Amino acid sequence: LNHLKNKYRARFCHGGRNKIDLQPGQNILKVIQDCFESGS
């Protein structure tokens, strides 16, 4: 799994990930579904 670890650090540290803004009271299930839907 080493290849995952090396790339992981780069992925984890790069800032520009699409921030998930979680509004209080928002249905987290829906948020998660959308994250998987968003074709990125």
> Which residues sit at the interface with other proteins, rule CB under 8 A?
8, 11-12, 17, 19-20, 22, 24, 28-29, 31-33, 35-36, 40
Q: How far is the CB of 23 from other proteins (least distance, A)?
A: 11
**Closer residue to other proteins in complex, CB, 6/36:** 36
Q: Measuring CA to CA, which residue among 31, 30, 11, 12 is closest to residue 21?
A: 31
CA distance linking residue 33 with residue 28, whole number of Å: 9
Residue 23: φ, ψ to 5°: -75, 140
Q: How far is the CB of 21 from other proteins (least distance, A)?
A: 10
